[in-house]
């Protein structure tokens, strides 16, 4: 007999390969879970940006309306050409 136990060596080699495959699988699973969590975060950011974009589009449409421009100008104290501005003073304080 040669002294080498081939069956035992084959079992050790098989166990080593199995452990290596398991380690690769665990790393792959961890990478998958990390990527999935990052995907969820990115999706939440995209949804928030889409809502913000919709709000900005609506605001842009409102600002294009002549009535909005006139209202905002009057709130700033502006008057139309030819209008007589009045200043009221002496009002009682609340």
Token reading at 94: 């609340």
Query: What pLDDT sits at residue 46?
Result: 97
Q: 19 lies in a domain?
A: yes
Query: What pLDDT sits at residue 1?
Result: 52
Phi-psi region of 27 (alpha: psi -120 to 50; beta: other; left: phi over 0): alpha
The residue range of the domain holding 29 is: 6-75
Mean pLDDT by groups of 10 residues along the chain of 94 residues: 80 93 91 92 96 96 91 90 87 85
The domain total for the chain is 1
pTM: 0.51
Q: 25 lies in a domain?
A: yes
Q: 1 lies in a domain?
A: no
Query: What pLDDT sits at residue 4?
Result: 81
SS3 19: helix
Q: 90 lies in a domain?
A: no
Query: What pLDDT sits at residue 3?
Result: 77
């Amino acid at each position: 007999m040669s002294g080498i136990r081939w069956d035992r060596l084959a079992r050790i080699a098989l166990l080593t390969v199995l452990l290596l495959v398991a380690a690769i699988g665990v790393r792959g699973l961890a990478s998958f879970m990390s990527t999935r969590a990052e995907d969820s975060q990115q999706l939440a950011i995209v949804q928030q940006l889409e809502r913000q974009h919709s709000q900005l589009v609506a605001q842009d449409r409102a600002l294009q309306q002549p009535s909005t421009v006139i209202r905002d100008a009057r709130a700033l104290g502006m008057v139309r050409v030819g209008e007589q501005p009045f200043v009221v003073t002496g009002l009682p304080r609340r």
